[in-house]
Amino acid sequence: MLNNSGWLHAITAPPTNPQPLTPNPLTPVLTIDGPSGSGKGTIARRVATALGFHLLDSGALYRLVALAGSQQGVAADDQPGHARVARELEVQFGMDGAGEERILLAGTDVTRAIRTETAGAEASRVAAMPPVRSALLSRQHAFAQPPGLVADGRDMGTVVFPGSPLKIYLTASPDERALRRHKQLKDKGLTVTIAGLSQEIRERDLRDSSRPVAPLRPAEDAVILDSTGLTIEQVVDQVLALARSRLPAIS
Ligand code: DC
C-alpha cells in the first residue's frame, strides 16, 4: 500500500477508483500534445507544478497497458485482450520521499521498466488499437479534478479533452528530439545510440501520426510551439503566459 510505505499521492495521483465520467466542465484542462522527444513530459510537469494542477501522463498509461499485457501473456495482436488489460489496469502514480515520481503496477514499481525505448515502441503498438483507446478514455477523464489538469499526450486536445480552453502542440526538429531523448535516457542510466534513437523516433512518429484512430496531429485550435533552440524555462514561461491569458481562474 502506498500510504503505509511512505509513498505520497502527489500531483500525479489519479482518483483511486476512476469512474466512467465525462470531464468536469468546470475544471480547467490545459492540453499538451506533440511527438516523442518534444519535451512535453518535462514541460507538462513543470507547468502543472507552477499552476498547482494535477498531471495526466497519458503515454504512461499506454506503456503500462503494453507491459501488463505482455506480463499476462496477451498475444501482441489481441485487441480485446489488451482492452481488458486497459480496463483492469491496477496502477498508482505517486512520489517517493525524495520527490521522485514512482509508478506502481499491481503494487510493483515499474517506473524504470516502462521508460525504455522498447517499452515505448510496445506502447505505440497497443496505442494503435481502437478498443484500448476507448478503454482508457474514462480513466483519463477522471484525472480532470479541481483545481485543474495539465494533460500530456498525443490526442489530449483532439479526442480526450476537445473542450480544453488551451491546447498546446509542442514540437521540435527530429534531430533535436533525438539529442534530448539521448540525454534523458543517459541521465536515467540507460545506454542508447543517437542514430538508433533518431531512427526509432522517426518510426514512432510515423506510426503515431498515420494510425486511423486518434492520430498525432495538432487540434485545429491548438497553439503550435516549436521548442527547437529554446530552453525548458523559455518554453514553460510561454505556456504559463498563455495559461494566464486563456484560463479564467489563473491570474
Ligand atoms: O509519450 P510517450 O512516449 O510516453 O508515449 C508512448 C506511446 O504511447 C507513443 O508512441 C504514442 C502513444 N500515446 C498515444 O497514442 N496517445 C497518447 N495520448 C499518449 C501516448
Residue 81 lies in a domain: yes
pLDDT band at 4 (very low <50, low <70, confident <90, very high): very low
Containing 40, the helix (H) or strand (E) segment is helix 40-51
Domain with 107, as residue range(s), is 7-15+26-241
Q: What is the pLDDT of residues 84-117, one digit of tens each?
A: 999 999 999 988 888 888 999 999 999 999 998 8
Residue 31 lies in a domain: yes
Q: Taking the model in full, what pTM does it have?
A: 0.86
Residue 249 lies in a domain: no
* Contact by Cβ (8 Å): 69, 82: yes
Residue 150 lies in a domain: yes
More confident residue, 228 or 247: 228
Containing 157, the helix (H) or strand (E) segment is none
Residue 178 lies in a domain: yes
Q: Specify the number of domains making up the chain.
A: 1
Residue 247 lies in a domain: no
Q: What grid cell was written down for 87?
A: 480496463
Q: Average pLDDT, stretch 196-201? A: 87
> With 0-12 CB in 10 A as exposed, 13-18 as middle and 19+ as buried, what is 24?
middle
pLDDT band at 250 (very low <50, low <70, confident <90, very high): low
Q: What is the pLDDT of residues 54-83, one digit of tens each?
A: 999 999 999 999 999 999 999 999 999 999
Ligand 1, atom nearest to 33 Cα: 18
Residue 69 lies in a domain: yes
CA of 74 from ligand 1 middle (Å) equals: 20
CA of 205 from ligand 1 middle (Å) equals: 10
Q: Looking at this protein, which amino acid is placed at residue 40?
A: K
Ligand 1, atom nearest to 207 Cα: 10
CATH for 128: 3.40.50.300
Ligand 1 site residues (CB inside 6 A) read 36, 58-59, 62-63, 120, 123-124, 127, 153-155, 204, 208
pLDDT at 15 over 60: no
Residue 116 lies in a domain: yes
- What is the C-alpha separation between 115 and 119, in angstroms, rounded? 6
Ligand 1, atom nearest to 124 Cα: 10
